[in-house]
Structure 1
Amino acid sequence: MITEFYIYLALGALAGGFINGLSGTGTALFALGFYLVVLDPIQAVAVVAFMSVLVGLQGLWVVRVEIKSQPTRLLRFLIPGLVGIPIGLALLERINEGTLRIAVAALLILYGCYFGFRATLPAFSRRTPVIDSVVGLIGGILGGAAAVSGAIPAMWVSIRPWTKAETRAVLQPFNVVILSTTICLLFWKGAYDATALLALAITIPIGLIAAQIGITVFKRLTDNAFRRLLILLTLMMGVGIMISEVF
């Protein structure tokens, strides 16, 4: 069992770190399945959230120029997202988390299938500050209610005709800040016990190296290829969430 503990944590760190370095999101989707084999759900979420933030900081450095050049664009998503987190937590008392996650998964699958296999991608080019804020708010609400904060923002930014760096300059810091808030809440609940700390000691170095590999691949992608990758990633996110809830 001890050997399995190390193997599953290492595999999760490799998968989650690489996809975060590549796209700026999706760490939980690729890592959580491995972590849940050897950790209880609270510990697994605590570890993947911490690793997501840590490896995400590397991604932030890659697009630091784009973040500085468009701060208001990021804040349109981020501030409503932070407002949405406590709303999502409050909704947990009134809605079924599993049902909500299945509904989000179905939306991601439909979206990914429709846009992911089209010959040409949409290009929603006009400025949409109100929609951006609503998307950020929904992301925060879903993060608090069902731990899927990046799903709707990823859908929205993937159809904007921004460069890959501009897209990442919104998606990556949004996820880092939302997940940092999640870490604080989990710490308050005592999720970072001795087992979680041991898991972090194993996953952090592996995740950081894997993220660097993902960032290297990201730099080689064209803007259009990155948009298509992000759309297909939303499809995979939807399938992953659906499988985790149904089975």
Structure 2
Amino acid sequence: MSWSAILFILIGASAGGFINGLAGSGTALFALGFILVALDPVSAVALVTLMSVVTGFQGLWEVRSALSRNVPRLMRFILPGIAGVPVGVGLLSLIDAETLKLIIAIFLILYGGFFSFRANLPKFDRRTPVIDSTIALVGGVLGGMASLSGALPMMWLSMRPWPKAETRALLQPFNMSVLGSTTLMLWWRGAYDPQTVTAFLIALPVSLLSAQIGLMVFRRITDDMFRRLLIGLSLLLGLGILIRALV
């Protein structure tokens, strides 16, 4: 592996780890563009997915007390999300994933763009178990089809006026469970060859350290700032998907 490839892997690990520590989501958005310069697409996705899962444990520890406050609600997200992954993989041959990405991108841009520049944040505070499970299921399906598991849950949770720890205690375990399922499927398909494992070992220390820096920032921002962060990430995610699809 060349020194330039190692440099891009380290930059991607640094950017992805920081946003993982800060928001508990969005690792691929910030890391994948750099890592694709160093690795082929399958290896890059496999690396970012595994890095997201391993680095995410630090975020879970940060909100460990919030995780136990509402276990049934947490399961309403995790279980449908995991169930949706193989469904999404199965639908790959029936639905054009690129068209689906464009639709999701436009939706993210409209939502993120509208609320990013408004003084008042969206607010939806009543209990919605059916909607929660439906969004988690669709998120899992989108994860299996187009690696977009976090898009809808991120938008949905940014509308909830909850404390930041409570929001993160749903978003991060959901992402980790879906990405963990994806990691197992990639491993089963042989994506973790010696080159990918070597790249992961190079990226891991930087990713863990950057996540700690992101967690330091997370501790200092307010609940409303965290919701605005999720809305801003929705906008950036939509723009990133749109640019990749068009280019």
Report the Cα distance in structure 1 between the residues aligned to 2:71 and 2:244, rounded to whole angstroms. Answer: 36
Instruction: Specify the alignment match of 1:239 in structure 2.
Output: 239
CA-CA distance at 1:79 after TM superposition:
1.0
Please identify, of 100-109 and 20-29, the stretch whose mean Cα deviation from structure 2 is larger: 100-109
Report the Cα distance in structure 2 between the residues aligned to 1:101 and 1:199, rounded to whole angstroms. Answer: 28
Report the Cα distance in structure 1 between the residues aligned to 2:187 and 2:122, rounded to whole angstroms. Answer: 41
CA-CA distance at 1:235 after TM superposition:
0.4
Computed over aligned residues only, the root mean square deviation of the Cα atoms, in angstroms, reads: 0.8
Report the Cα distance in structure 2 between the residues aligned to 1:70 and 1:117, rounded to whole angstroms. Answer: 32
Any idea what SS the aligned residue of 2:126 has? Answer: coil
**TM-score under structure 2 normalisation?**
0.99
Q: Any runs of at least 4 consecutive aligned residues in structure 1 with deviations exceeding 4 A, and if so which?
A: none
After TM superposition, list the pairs within 5 Å mapping 1:157-172 onto structure 2.
157-172=157-172
Report the Cα distance in structure 1 between the residues aligned to 2:62 and 2:147, rounded to whole angstroms. Answer: 26
Report the Cα distance in structure 1 between the residues aligned to 2:201 and 2:165, rounded to whole angstroms. Answer: 30
Any idea what SS the aligned residue of 2:127 has? Answer: coil
CA-CA distance at 1:57 after TM superposition:
0.4
Structure 1: gaps of 5 or more residues? none
Report the Cα distance in structure 1 between the residues aligned to 2:133 and 2:180, rounded to whole angstroms. Answer: 20
Instruction: Specify the alignment match of 1:86 in structure 2.
Output: 86
The answer to whether residue 57 in structure 2 is matched with residue 57 in structure 1 is yes
CA-CA distance at 1:157 after TM superposition:
0.2
Amino acid at match of 2:96: N
Report the Cα distance in structure 2 between the residues aligned to 1:187 and 1:29, rounded to whole angstroms. Answer: 22
Structure 2: gaps of 5 or more residues? none
CA-CA distance at 1:16 after TM superposition:
0.1
CA-CA distance at 1:48 after TM superposition:
0.2
CA-CA distance at 1:90 after TM superposition:
1.1
Please identify, of 183-192 and 72-81, the stretch whose mean Cα deviation from structure 2 is larger: 72-81
CA-CA distance at 1:97 after TM superposition:
1.2
Amino acid at match of 2:68: K
After TM superposition, list the pairs within 5 Å mapping 1:33-52 onto structure 2.
33-52=33-52
Identity of aligned residues (%): 55
CA-CA distance at 1:83 after TM superposition:
1.4
Please identify, of 209-218 and 78-87, the stretch whose mean Cα deviation from structure 2 is larger: 78-87
After TM superposition, list the pairs within 5 Å mapping 1:4-83 onto structure 2.
4-83=4-83
Count of paired positions: 247
Amino acid at match of 1:57: F
The answer to whether residue 141 in structure 2 is matched with residue 141 in structure 1 is yes
Please identify, of 163-172 and 66-75, the stretch whose mean Cα deviation from structure 2 is larger: 66-75
